[in-house]
Amino acid sequence: MSLLDSINKENDIKKLSPDCMEQLAGEIREFILESVSKNGGHLASNLGAVEITMALHRCMDLPQDKIIYDVGHQSYTHKILTGRKEEFYKLRRFGGMSGFPKKSESDCDAFNTGHSSTSISALVGMAMAKELNGTNEKLCAVIGDGSMTGGMVYEALQQMSQVSTSCLIVLNDNEMSISKNVGGVSKSLSKFRIGRPYNELKSGIEKTLLNIPEVGYKMAKGIKRSKDSLKNLIVPDNMFNDLGVTYIGPIDGHDVNVMTEIFNNAFDLNRPVIVHVKTKKGKGYRLAERYPEHFHGVGPFNPETGRSLKVKTAATNTDVFARSLIEIGTKNEKVVAITAAMAHGTGIRAFQKVFPDRTFDVGIAEQHALTFAAGLASSGCIPVVALYSSFLQRAYDQLLHDICLQKLHVVICIDRSGIVGEDGETHMGIYDTSYLREMPGLEIIAPKGEKELEDAMDYAVNTATGPVAIKYTKGVAYSDLNDKNVQFLSGHSEVINFEKTVGNKNLKSIALLAVGSMVETAVKVRDKISSEYDYEPELINLRFIKPLDLDRIRETMNGFDLVCILEENVRRGSVGEEIGYIKATEGLSADIMHFCIDTETVQQGAVSKLKEELGLDAESIYNKVIEAARYEEKA
Residues annotated as part of the active site: 281, 366, 394
| Residue 359 backbone dihedrals phi, psi, to 5 degrees | -120, 135
Closest CA to 403 of 357, 353, 467, 355: 467
Q: Give whole-number Cα distances, 361 to 62, 92, 385, 525, in Å.
A: 38, 29, 10, 42
251, containing H or E segment: strand 246-252
First to last CA, the chain: 73
DSSP assignment of 47-61: HHTHHHHHHHHHH--
* CB distance 568 to 598 below 8 Å: no
Which 8-state DSSP code applies to residue 633? P
CA distance to 440, 607, 610, per residue, from 613 (Å): 35, 10, 5
Q: Is 347 left (phi over 0), alpha (psi -120 to 50) or beta?
A: left
Residue among 347, 426, 430 at smallest CA distance from 385: 347
What's the CA gap between 369 and 360, in Å, rounded?
Answer: 9
Element (H, E) at 266: helix 256-268
Residue of 458, 445, 220 lying closest to 330 (CA atoms):
458
3-state secondary structure 441-472: CCEEECCCCHHHHHHHHHHHHHCCCCCEEEEC
**Closest to 336 measured CA to CA, from 348, 345, 347:** 348
- C-alpha to C-alpha distance for 29 and 254, rounded to whole angstroms: 12
- CA distance readout (Å), 230 to 186, 189, 262: 13, 11, 21
Query: What b-and-e string marks burial along 121-145, b requiring 16 or more CB atoms within 10 Å of the CB?
Result: bbbbebbbebeeeeeebbbbbbbbb
> One-letter amino acid identity for 560?
F
How far, CA to CA in Å, does 339 sit from each of 147, 184, 349, 387, 392?
15, 39, 9, 6, 11
Single-letter amino acid code for the residue at 531:
S
* Contact yes or no for 337/359 (Cβ under 8 A): yes
